Chain A
Amino acid sequence: MTFSPQLEERFQKMLAAYPEGRKRSAVVPMLIYAQDETGAVTPELIDEVARRCQVTPLQVDEVVGYYSMLHRKPQGKYHVQVCTNISCLLVGGMELYEHACKKLGIGHKETTADGQFSLEEVECMGACSWAPAVEINYDFHHHITPEKLDQLIDGLRKKQ
């Protein structure tokens, strides 16, 4: 498999970060960065990461199910993650999540038919003092109300 030159450069750095014979350490970081380009952890990607890290494909496959950010099916172009854990819950996180379901017409870990948006009710993501919080792909958004979420989503729809 080939990746973008930027990602190839990152992989080279990653593999050089661990001591001799410890390339297995790069498995998880490599998977998470690679899936951003490939859209999902495919069997082909598993084989490629295994080859690069000098482990068996099974040793790569077994971590995929463990880490919640790794996924075997493609998500939407914009992955909307709404936190409903305790700090967010107290200030409207659950209502925000329910609003997001209605707004996007999808539920937990579902993707819109056009492939543009996916939704996930997530666990604490470290934005507790600026709750309720939403992370879209890797961008944090703090103090989010249903109205602000509408604006964010509508803005992304226009961007397409």
Chain B
Amino acid sequence: MAKTLYNEPSPLETMILSKRFRLENSHTLDSYLANGGFKAFLKAKEMTPEQIVDEVKASALRGRGGAGFPTGMKWSFVPRSSPKPKYIVVNADESEPGTCKDRLLMEYDPFQMIEGILIAGLAMDSHKGYIYIRGEYRYLIEHVDRALAEAYKRGYLGKNIAGTGFEFDLYTHSGAGAYECGEETALLDSLEGKRGIPRMKPPFPAVAGVWACPTLLNNVETFSAVPEIILNGGKAFADLGTPKNGGTRLLCISGHVNKPGVYEVPLGYPMMKAINEIAGGIPNGKKLKAVVPGGSSCPILKADECDIAMDYDTLAKVGSMLGSGGMVVMDETTDMVKVALRIMRFYAHESCGWCIPCREGTTWLKKILQRFDDGGGRKEDVPLLGELSKNMLGRTFCALGDAAAMPTISIVEKFAEDFEKRLAREMVAV
């Protein structure tokens, strides 16, 4: 039976991870088991750890949190034979502006994510995991807690899972409001009960993660894709997308579209088709001005750059990123000065303050943009914004500095006329 989610589905979707979302009681273990649940785990139990990792490698699955690192390769970095305990940590700190998909995966199919974690546990010889959920998602922490309790009760967590002899304990862990904790090493510090400050890499978490033990960290969506990969094979998953960009992803479309929503599409899906056909086009016959392809950290694309296939490599070729799947559509009436300012207010607020280029850079960029928006803009501010941002690139401790600089550089370079218009207006006013 169909149920209404946050938005209506599109007939153009390819539902792999979201295929059970609209089943009545899709969040329950009974529903999950009745619809193919835990078959992948039982299949993985018969495979060697190497075979599991190879299958994930063959799937061309790439991290769905934002960076797009090949998942199978990340799994292969965890030293299975380490005498230390190995941990699995799920990044459910979904906070990249424009992104709202992990919510749905945890709300409508939490057992799919849990099964993915267990399969990773088999591959890593890991027996303990934590789902780090942002504090604002309290209802989801409680929702996932109920799913975990049900799994324990029915023998799908704890000792001797599904009669296989495999043991795994899984817990939720609440964040308390900090974008920076989505960065994997900051998340680990936060999980240890500290301020979420990024760590120097190397060592990478695969070698020395939480409590200095080998740790596998993946996004909710990444783990949720694993059962499908094991059950139907890595190749079938890879074939859904484009070369080196396997599978589908949950695209969060927001902004100026008639039907904003979360829709599942194969990697490589045409951006304009997503905007015009899936999301119903731009309201009131307005023209497209710009698109944030994958969360506010990504360089913005101008309308004439949007005739593009959405996969990691194609977006990288045009100097942007597929990111977290948060696609923000802006129509011709959008004032890019206001967009740049709002994005920078966010990064200045969320900079953890650990390194100076990020802490001071975001603060100064915010001040310049605020002054500009308030009507005090100067001609030299436009190159200054670009120069300051470029000075941050690659010089900060973690990716937050780049995340703040990249959209700003792209806005200043691609939408200089929005800044010039403001300056012209002020000249008239004087």
CB-CB contacts below 8 Å: A1-49 with B: 17, 19, 22, 24-29, 31-33
**Is A27 a contact of B7 with CB atoms below 8 Å?**
no
Q: A69-B177, A85-B97, A128-B100 are in contact. List 5 more A-B contacts (CB 8 A).
A: A24-B192, A25-B191, A25-B193, A126-B94, A138-B139
A53, closest chain B residue (CB): B193
Pick the contact of A86: B97, B173, B262 (CB < 8 A). Answer: B97
Instruction: Report the minimum CB–CB distance from B186 to chain A (whole Å).
Output: 10
Query: Total interface residues on B, using CB and 8 Å?
Result: 58
Query: Which chain A residues lie closer than 8 Å to B328 at the CB level?
Result: 86-87, 90, 128
Would you list the 6 A-B pairs with minimal beta carbon distance, nearest first?
A: A69-B177, A68-B177, A67-B176, A24-B193, A87-B254, A27-B193
**Is B334 a contact of A67 with CB atoms below 8 Å?**
no
CB of A99 within 8 Å of the partner chain: no
**Is B175 a contact of A90 with CB atoms below 8 Å?**
no
CB of A62 within 8 Å of the partner chain: yes
CB-CB contacts below 8 Å: B89-113 with A: 94-100, 102-103
Task: Among B99, B255, B292, find the residue whose CB has the most chain A CB atoms closer than 10 A.
Answer: B255
Instruction: Report the minimum CB–CB distance from B333 to chain A (whole Å).
Output: 10
29 CB < 8 A contacts A-B: A22-B211, A25-B192, A29-B174, A33-B174, A55-B193, A59-B194, A67-B135, A67-B177, A69-B176, A84-B342, A85-B342, A86-B97, A87-B254, A87-B255, A90-B255, A90-B328, A123-B349, A124-B97, A124-B179, A125-B136, A126-B99, A128-B260, A128-B328, A129-B100, A129-B254, A130-B100, A130-B261, A138-B138, A138-B139
Instruction: Report the minimum CB–CB distance from A6 to chain B (whole Å).
Output: 12
Bound: A90/B138 CA distance, A: 26
**Given A26-B193, A129-B254, do A69 and B98 touch, yes or no (CB 8 Å)?**
no
**Given A86-B328, A123-B349, A130-B100, do A63 and B194 touch, yes or no (CB 8 Å)?**
yes
**Is B100 a contact of A70 with CB atoms below 8 Å?**
no
CB of A106 within 8 Å of the partner chain: no
**Given A63-B195, A90-B255, A138-B139, do A128 and B176 touch, yes or no (CB 8 Å)?**
no
CB-CB contacts below 8 Å: B119-168 with A: 128, 130, 134-139
Query: Which chain B residues lie closer than 8 Å to A84 at the CB level?
Result: 342
CB of A77 within 8 Å of the partner chain: no
**Given A28-B193, A69-B136, do A123 and B176 touch, yes or no (CB 8 Å)?**
no
Bound: A82/B366 CA distance, A: 20
CB-CB contacts below 8 Å: B326-345 with A: 326, 328, 330, 334, 338-339, 342-343
Query: Which chain A residues lie closer than 8 Å to B139 at the CB level?
Result: 138-140
Pick the contact of B338: A22, A89, A129, A135 (CB < 8 A). Answer: A89
B142, closest chain A residue (CB): A138
**Is A123 a contact of B179 with CB atoms below 8 Å?**
yes
Instruction: Report the minimum CB–CB distance from B330 to chain A (whole Å).
Output: 6
Binary flags per residue of B192-213, CB closer than 8 Å to A gives 1, else 0: 1111100000000000000100
**Is A66 a contact of B134 with CB atoms below 8 Å?**
no
Instruction: Report the minimum CB–CB distance from A30 to chain B (whole Å).
Output: 9
Task: Among B177, B196, B211, find the residue whose CB has the most chain A CB atoms closer than 10 A.
Answer: B177
Query: Which chain A residues lie closer than 8 Å to B260 at the CB level?
Result: 128-131
Binary flags per residue of A58-78, CB closer than 8 Å to B gives 1, else 0: 010011001111100000000
Pick the contact of B254: A55, A66, A131 (CB < 8 A). Answer: A131
CB of B410 within 8 Å of the partner chain: no
Query: Which chain B residues lie closer than 8 Å to A130 at the CB level?
Result: 6-7, 100, 260-261
CB of B256 within 8 Å of the partner chain: yes
**Given A90-B254, A129-B7, A129-B262, do A124 and B174 touch, yes or no (CB 8 Å)?**
no
